A and B are shown apart, each in its own frame.
Chain A
């Protein structure tokens, strides 16, 4: 298969993956173009991490096709729990560790430190940083590699709403400044990044896809998310024509109600509130 679109970075087609006794991914297809933000959401156990590993070529898919732009530079921001604090590293040393792979000049390095706000942390030990600080340092490390595609696994999981808002704002600035494509993985099924070009809802297969919405302009929502303060959070409304039973199998919707009015109908029986 030939791909002629130069802005296409990554394309997955009909990806299937099974582990013994369990189908994890079924016919997953999507693509990421330059400067696009894709939000991949789904409940726990939906196959998000497995899909990430396949995209990063860490494990093979059982079937399907993956296209990567030749020599695609990917940076991956891991979950905080994956970081090993046994290695004694100052922030400065950590950032220099992969500097040889980076195509960033002095001016851009300065800009990245400014953007992520980690200049004053430069001489601290990485292991002494707070969760939010560590995340910004790791983000700076990713950016210094000059990536075309930035992949983030649950970056907002440990942040409160204001923290999410700040972090998503930072990501949208990064996209606008460097034309970096961004893939964000999250288990938050409704609160997504407003600037996302596409939201993919994954539960073994892609259940639905669409664009994020403005936070509804009703007094209830506005009380929690004042529009003036939360410009970067969006709301995702699921459009499902099926539901999943306790075993995760696809089942027809049992009620005739409009699914748009009941966005969480899809996850009944999965412990979602």
Chain B
């Protein structure tokens, strides 16, 4: 039964990380960015299969390179940010799909990458997740305050602290790490949902940024457990089950808030 323990541990750690990361994404209006990264991650999967490298690593590298490319093009003011994201995401997705078609990888294996397969978590996966959690937590502790200032009032933050390019780059680095972990839980296509939905659902219940991050982690944990159960007992794809339970929690939170405030 140890595979059940690995699966639950992986899911809980992801939910824990998703709380603060998702809150920061929400405040910095990064939702589209998360989506775009999920799409370029397909290219990472294809590269991993093609080159025989660990898929976790190639997904991380691909997402990081494409998000730094995005940041660079944005600084050069080549095009508006949504246009840039659209181009990078769709180009990455297309290239990834073409690579996968050429390799001829089985559909079920690809489905697991896209939509998550929490029950297939191994001891090695858990070690990788633990390693990434330490890095994400450490970087987050350093840039948390700066990202809050940046989200609250970008012009003042930049005027008072410089352009903050490295803060943004570090944020993208840990988001890319998170996406590479998501292969096991939500899958790379639905990774934004695990980040955004719990954070959005608890926004109106939170008075401080830290409170919102903790609440979002708790809601994420509940969603992951529900998705895990659905995956185990009903044999449903993990990612969609997690996302649907998170959405349901969000709806309940919304109506609860409506009932509480006359």
Contact = CB atoms under 8 A, between A and B. Distances in A.
Contact of B208 (A57, A74, A88, A100): A88
A135 interface: no
Contacts of A78: 153, 155-156
A76 B155 contact: yes
B159 to A, nearest CB: 4
Contacts of A84: 27, 29, 151-154
B250 to A, nearest CB: 16
A20 to B, nearest CB: 11
Contacts of A76: 155-156, 159-160
A82 B153 contact: yes
Contacts of A98: 149, 160
A208 interface: no
Contacts of B206: 88
A54 to B, nearest CB: 12
B257 interface: no
Contacts of A94: 152
Q: Which of B29, B145, B152, B163 has the most CB of A within 10 A?
A: B152
Counting chain B residues whose Cβ lies within 8 A of the other chain, the interface size class is 20 to 34
A87 B155 contact: no
A88 B207 contact: yes
Contacts of A145: 160
Contacts of A56: 155, 158-159
A101 interface: yes
B26 interface: yes
B160 A75 contact: yes
Contacts of B152: 83-84, 87, 89, 94, 97
Given A93-B208, A94-B152, A87 B145 contact: no
Interface string A53-65: 0001110000000
Interface in A67-94: 74-78, 82-84, 86-90, 93-94
Contact of B209 (A82, A88, A125): A88
Interface in B141-186: 145, 148-149, 151-156, 158-160, 162-163
A56 B26 CA distance: 27
A166 B209 CA distance: 33
Nearest to A141: B156
Contact of B160 (A82, A90, A101): A101
B151 A87 contact: yes
Interface in A112-126: 125
Nearest to A96: B145
A181 interface: no
Interface in B1-51: 26-27, 29
A37 interface: no
Contacts of A28: none
A17 to B, nearest CB: 14
Given A58-B163, A76-B160, A101-B160, A82 B155 contact: yes
B154 A82 contact: yes
Nearest to B77: A59
Given A83-B152, A86-B151, A87-B27, A151 B208 contact: no
Nearest to B26: A86
B225 interface: no
B137 to A, nearest CB: 20
B129 to A, nearest CB: 29
Contact of B148 (A83, A97, A125, A151): A97
Contacts of A97: 145, 148-149, 152
A137 to B, nearest CB: 12
Contacts of A57: 159, 162
Nearest to B145: A97
B125 to A, nearest CB: 34
Contacts of B156: 75-78
Interface of A: 56-58, 74-78, 82-84, 86-90, 93-94, 97-98, 100-101, 125, 145, 151
Minimum-distance CB pairs A-B, first 4: A76-B159, A56-B159, A88-B206, A76-B156
Given A58-B158, A58-B163, A100-B145, 8 more contacts: A57-B159, A76-B156, A83-B152, A84-B151, A86-B29, A88-B206, A88-B212, A97-B148
